[in-house]
């Protein structure tokens, strides 16, 4: 089984389900609790490249912080959105599983198994 890096929030049911699926599959898992150790801008840019997403597509747009910080403004640059996720990691969609150069968002949780 491959080594999997998982950006994980233990309070999120989808994140817990994805972790359980990877454990059941016998994967070696490096867990990053991204709320405790948020990714920096360079890491987020790498993740976005691996996920083939724009910064806004990686954001949890229904979080109160999204609206409160004015992040729904379409004029904001990618760098501004990335800076917002670095400052407020709660805005990052989860869970994110990475194997080698491939990454997926585990929504639904079973999607993480596509990397195996």
CA–CA dist 37, 25 (Å, integer): 26
- Catalytic site includes residue 27: no
Reduce the DSSP state of residue 89 to 3 states and report it: helix
CA–CA dist 41, 38 (Å, integer): 10
Catalytic residue among 9, 10, 12, 112: 12
Q: Which helix (H) or strand (E) holds 82?
A: helix 78-87
Write out the catalytic residue numbers: 12
């Amino acid at each position: 089984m491959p080594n999997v890096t998982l950006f994980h929030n233990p309070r999120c049911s989808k994140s817990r389900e994805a972790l359980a699926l990877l454990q059941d599959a016998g994967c070696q898992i490096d867990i990053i609790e991204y709320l405790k150790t948020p990714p920096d801008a360079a890491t987020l840019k790498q993740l976005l490249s691996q996920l083939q997403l724009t910064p806004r597509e990686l954001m949890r747009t229904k979080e109160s912080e999204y609206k409160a910080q004015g992040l729904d403004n379409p004029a904001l640059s990618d760098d501004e959105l990335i800076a917002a996720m670095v400052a407020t990691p709660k805005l990052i969609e989860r869970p994110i599983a990475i194997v080698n150069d491939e990454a997926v968002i585990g929504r639904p949780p079973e999607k993480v198994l596509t990397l195996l």
